[in-house]
Amino acid sequence: MKICMVTNMYPTPDQPAYGAFVKSQIDSIISIGHDVKVFQIDGRRNRLNYILAILRLRRLVRTTNYDLVHAHYGLSGIVACMQKRFPVLVSFCGDDLLGTPDGKGGLTYASRAIMRAGQWVSKSANGIVVKTRQMKYFIRSPRDQKKAVVIPNGVDLELFKPISKGEAQKACGLRSDRRYVLFPSTSYERRKRFDLAEKALDLLKVKHPEVELVLLYHKPQGMVPVFMNACDAMVMTSDWEGSPNVVKEAMACNLPIVSVDAGDAWEVIGNAAHCYRAYRNPDDIADKLNCVLVTGERSNGREHIAHLEIGNVAKRVLAVYEAVLKVS
């Protein structure tokens, strides 16, 4: 099968983690024998690049045959749907259907526009993939909901796996006489709620003065599992998530997780040992982190996410391709 992948998220040398999950899915589809053309859109630099991308894609499909065009993210879906030669599958990623909180109880104006575009894409696309059941129900039209298939992003279990904590700490420059809680984002992205994690850590230090918060962002994909193995726990405090890949990746490394209710994080954690669901307040988060540090044990998360192995997920995506081609 020959697929044109249209995406506005893809790793770059300066941001190696940006769209890493898209690249992982593309690589997994290539690995089972399919031909993939990656069509990138740099929409972050200039929104006009989306208009230029429509023209570029139309030129491409006039001269090259594909079985299907697969767009990642709603705005990429607009570009993909502006060509009519080949059927279009759109994978929604989160805020393109759910919106982005503005910190005041509402949604940002920009994300509202993206959400409206997502509804148009839902009607225009031949097939839809969403990451969670919640996202499916944000598609307004019952008819379009029926087109949607829930497929979470897969995890590369060869990359994300348990390794020696001591070796991992050496590679990350961390000390063996400290305890570390991983915060998988920057301190300035508002919806990730670094302030909440920081308050929880301040409370935790009363019982564990040796504990430190480690921020994980803009790291090469190969270093992410190393940091996960070097730390004692991961904390997720976001106001909003779609289907956070970092939770699945931490599970694959058997890293204990304390998470608020964000996206499908609680569903993914399930009843894994030493992983905790927390209320969105610093006292409860600190209490749950204390439980992790007191036991000092790793989780058994890896066995809970085995079904999300990236090859298995690739086969599910290919089944959707075949279903779209049958009805197009």
How far is it, in rounded angstroms, from Cα 26 to Cα 38? 8
Identify residue 206 by its one-letter amino acid code: V
How far is it, in rounded angstroms, from Cα 171 to Cα 304? 27
Residue 119 shares a structural domain with residue 144 = yes
Inside any domain, residue 7 = yes
Inside any domain, residue 9 = yes
Burial zone of 106 (CB within 10 Å; 0-12 exposed, 13-18 middle, 19+ buried) = exposed
Residue 123 shares a structural domain with residue 205 = no
How far is it, in rounded angstroms, from Cα 219 to Cα 159? 14
Tens-digit pLDDT string for the chain (328 aa): 999 999 999 998 888 888 989 999 999 999 999 999 999 999 988 999 999 999 999 999 999 999 999 999 999 999 999 999 999 999 999 889 988 877 787 888 999 999 999 999 999 999 999 999 889 999 999 999 999 999 999 999 999 999 999 999 999 999 999 999 999 999 998 889 999 999 999 999 999 999 999 999 888 889 999 999 999 999 999 988 888 999 999 999 999 999 999 989 999 999 999 999 999 999 999 999 999 999 999 999 999 999 999 999 999 999 999 999 998 8
**Distance between start and end Cα atoms, the chain:** 15
How far is it, in rounded angstroms, from Cα 116 to Cα 97? 8
Residue 195 shares a structural domain with residue 278 = yes
Inside any domain, residue 160 = no
| Residue 104: count of CB within 10 angstroms of its CB | 7
CATH of the domain at 20: 3.40.50.2000
Residue 203 shares a structural domain with residue 138 = no
Residue 132 shares a structural domain with residue 197 = no
Total count of domains within the chain: 2
**Which structure tokens are listed for 247?**
């939770």
Inside any domain, residue 159 = no
How far is it, in rounded angstroms, from Cα 224 to Cα 285? 23
The residue segments making up the domain with residue 322 are 2-154+310-327
Residue 96 shares a structural domain with residue 183 = no
What DSSP line would sit under 36-95, residue for residue?
EEEEE--TTT-THHHHHHHHHHHHHHHHS--SEEEEESHHHHHHHHT--SS-EEEE--SH
Inside any domain, residue 226 = yes
Residue pointed to by tokens 């898209």: 22
Strand arrangement of the beta sheet that strand 211-215 belongs to = 211-215, 179-183, 233-236, 257-259, 276-277
Residue 230 shares a structural domain with residue 260 = yes
Residues 129/92, Cβ–Cβ less than 8 Å = yes
